[in-house]
Each structure stands twice: as C-alpha cells, then as structure tokens.
C-alpha cells in the first residue's frame, strides 16, 4: 500500500484517516457537551425537581396529598374529559384524513389548513372563543340558559376546549400516511366485491392502525395536560371543573407545594409513559408511521 501523501505534509489541515464530513475531536466534544448541558438544564432538571419537591417531606407526605377529595375529582374529571375528547377526535381525525387523503374535492387545501388551526392559535384564544359563543353573555348564552344547558364553567366547556386543542393530532398523523398509501388497495377491495364499510374496516383502517395509535397517544397526552384553553372555560370551581393541571395551579397558589408537585408528578409520569410508548412504536413500526420518516 502506498504511503498516504497527507502524512508527508504535516501542515495539512485534515488529519489522516478522518472523513471529510467528520469534525475534529474538540469540536465534537464541545457540541455534545453543549447539547447534553442543554438537555440537563431544561428537561432533566425540571423533571427531577418535580419528583424531588413531591417527595420533599417523605413518601407518606406524598401519598397524603392524594387524600384531598378535590384532587381526586380533578383526576376523574381529567380522565373523563380525555375519555370523551380522544374518541371523538379519533372519529373526526379518521374522517378528515380519509376525506383529504383518498378523495379530491373543492376546498381541500382549506380543510387541511383548518385542521392545523389549533396548532397555530393560542389555546387561551380558543377558550375565549367558546366563552364568547356559549358564555352567559355570549351569542348563544340566552338560548342555552333558556333550555337549561350550561357549557361554560361546566364539563361540556372543558370537553369542547379539549377537543379543539387536540383535534390536529390524529389527523396530522394519518393524512401523510394515507396519502402515501394511495387508493389502489381500496380500489382492489371494491373490485373484489367489498362494500365501502367493509373496505374501510378490513383495508383502510388496518393499514393505518399503528399511526392511529401513535396519534391517539399524542392526542391523549395533550388532552390530559392541556392548561390554557381549559383554564379559560373552567371557572376553577374546586371539586367540579378543575382538571389535573388546574388543580396543580390551585394547590401551588395555596402554598401547598408538596401536594402541588405530587399531583404534577402524575402528569410528569403520564408524559414519561407517553414518551416510552411513542418511542417503542417508532422503533417497532417506523415503516408504518408517517412521522417515522418525517423525523
């Protein structure tokens, strides 16, 4: 093997054996340190702080903070709101992505833009919109009062606000995947005699099942953790319209730090579980997730 000509040129800036796309060691180390420090400071540290504060007065104090009936009602309310909002958004998301990905119609790009609207609008603004529409002084306030339906400062308002904020998650996960898959499998099913409903259940849905689960996961995490929109429409009635994030705020404002962080640790735990399941899905079914390729 001939001698590497670079070795005879000591002043050459590229070290022998280095590939042109590799940075010098010092740069690599510096970049990694910066990235890790950033992660530690902004992600790991707060997470550790949540648990540290929650357990500051010992394990007993941690569990004692869950003796509060208001906290339990907040947990049940959050689960309830998510149990309504997530399935509805699955249906809406499937319908929207089916329409967008498998059909051509006028106003399609407008629909796609609208689906993304909740991502671009501040959740507080969306909460305000619901108050404006359904509140006592709102456009439909008088009518709703006359039929005895309360939406704002009640559970329906929480559900509406949560649906609005979490609407894009399922649809955004499904649309690119469905578009990529095209319609030929559906056409094949139809040509073999299957009806539309059968085609949906045995061809369309199974082809997007993992992406759907992925979307549901993200949708659920957001539904349970949503603060801004929910805060506006909730009215903060203790034991009635406080979801878990709102309960955390109330406890914190009451200087009940251990309880506030204990309840917050539930949300942090939910976040961690979501992250693990999400990563597992991405690892196992990357080829069947649109985002697996997007990232």
Partner 1 sequence: MDLKIRDVRKEYGSFPALNGVSLDIRSGELVALLGPSGSGKTTLLRAIAGLEIPDSGQILFGDEDALAKPVQERNVGFVFQHYALFRHMKVFDNIAFGLRVRGRARRPAEADIRRKVLELLDLVQLKGLENRYPAQLSGGQRQRVALARALAIEPQVLLLDEPFGALDAQVRKELRRWLREIHNETGHTTVFVTHDQEEALELADRVAILHKGDLQQVGTPDAIYDEPATPFVYAFIGDSSSLPIDVRSGEATLDGRALPLGRVDAPDGPARLHVRPQDVTFVAPGEGVALGRIAALRRLGAFRRADVEVGARRSRIEVRLPPEASFSEGEEVGLAFERFAVFPAEGAPSVACAA
Q: Give dist(CA 269, CA 173) in Å, integer.
A: 24
Q: Nearer to partner 1 by C-beta: 67 or 104?
A: 104
Asked if residue 206 binds partner 1 (CB under 8 A), the reply is yes
Q: How many residues bind partner 1 (CB under 8 A)?
A: 17
CB of 220 to partner 1, least distance (A): 24
Stretch that binds partner 1, among 75-83, 90-98, 163-171, 187-195 (CB under 8 A): 187-195
Asked if residue 286 binds partner 1 (CB under 8 A), the reply is no
Identify whether the C-beta of residue 236 lies closer than 8 Å to the C-beta of residue 242: yes
Asked if residue 198 binds partner 1 (CB under 8 A), the reply is yes
Residue 230 host element (H or E): helix 228-234
Asked if residue 284 binds partner 1 (CB under 8 A), the reply is no
Q: Give dist(CA 224, CA 82) in Å, integer.
A: 6
Q: Give dist(CA 211, CA 204) in Å, integer.
A: 12
CB of 208 to partner 1, least distance (A): 10
Residue among 116, 180, 187, 254 that touches partner 1 (CB under 8 A)? 187
CB of 102 to partner 1, least distance (A): 13
Q: Nearer to partner 1 by C-beta: 71 or 181?
A: 181
Residue among 2, 107, 148, 193 that touches partner 1 (CB under 8 A)? 193
Q: Give dist(CA 29, CA 126) in Å, integer.
A: 45
- Of 159, 161, 158, 131, the closest CA to residue 144 belongs to 131
For residue 228, count other CB atoms closer than 10 A to its CB.
Answer: 15
Total residues found in the chain within this entry: 295
For residue 54, count other CB atoms closer than 10 A to its CB.
Answer: 23
Identify whether the C-beta of residue 144 lies closer than 8 Å to the C-beta of residue 212: no
Q: Nearer to partner 1 by C-beta: 204 or 241?
A: 204
Asked if residue 22 binds partner 1 (CB under 8 A), the reply is no
Asked if residue 269 binds partner 1 (CB under 8 A), the reply is no
Asked if residue 188 binds partner 1 (CB under 8 A), the reply is yes
- Of 157, 158, 170, 152, the closest CA to residue 86 belongs to 170
Asked if residue 197 binds partner 1 (CB under 8 A), the reply is no
Q: Under rule CB under 8 A, which residues in 125-184 are in contact with partner 1?
A: 184
Q: Nearer to partner 1 by C-beta: 12 or 198?
A: 198
Q: Is 113 helix (H, G, I), strand (E, B) or coil?
A: helix
Stretch that binds partner 1, among 17-25, 44-52, 77-85, 193-201 (CB under 8 A): 193-201
Q: Give dist(CA 190, CA 198) in Å, integer.
A: 9
Written as six digits, the tokens of 163 are 């649906």
Asked if residue 189 binds partner 1 (CB under 8 A), the reply is yes
Binding site for partner 1 (CB under 8 A): 184-185, 187-195, 198, 202-203, 206-207, 209
């Amino acid at each position: 093997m001939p001698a590497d000509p670079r070795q005879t040129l000591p002043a050459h800036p590229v070290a022998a054996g280095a590939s042109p796309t590799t940075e010098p060691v010092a740069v690599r180390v510096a970049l990694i340190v910066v990235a890790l420090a950033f992660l530690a400071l902004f992600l790991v540290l707060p997470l550790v702080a949540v648990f540290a504060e929650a357990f500051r007065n010992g394990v007993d104090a941690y569990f004692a903070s869950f003796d509060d009936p208001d906290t339990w009602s907040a947990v049940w309310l959050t689960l309830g709101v998510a149990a309504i909002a997530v399935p509805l958004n699955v249906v809406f998301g499937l319908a929207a992505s089916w329409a967008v990905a498998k059909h051509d119609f006028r106003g399609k790009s407008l629909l796609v833009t609208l689906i993304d609207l909740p991502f671009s609008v501040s959740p507080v603004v969306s909460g305000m919109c619901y108050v404006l529409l359904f509140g006592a002084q709102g456009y439909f306030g008088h009518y709703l009062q006359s039929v005895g339906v309360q939406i704002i400062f009640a559970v329906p308002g929480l559900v509406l606000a949560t649906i609005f904020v979490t609407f894009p998650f399922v649809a955004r996960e499904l649309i690119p995947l469905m578009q990529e898959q095209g319609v030929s499998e559906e056409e094949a099913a139809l040509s073999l005699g299957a009806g539309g409903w059968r085609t949906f259940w045995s061809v369309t849905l199974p082809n997007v099942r993992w992406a759907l689960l992925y979307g549901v996961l993200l949708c659920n995490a957001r539904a349970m953790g949503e603060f801004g929109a929910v805060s506006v429409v909730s009215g903060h009635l203790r034991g009635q319209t406080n979801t878990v994030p709102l309960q955390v705020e109330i406890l914190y404002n009451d200087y009940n730090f251990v309880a506030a962080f204990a309840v917050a640790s539930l949300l942090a735990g939910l976040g961690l579980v979501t992250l693990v399941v999400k990563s597992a899905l991405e690892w196992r079914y990357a080829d069947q997730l649109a985002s697996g390729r997007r990232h």
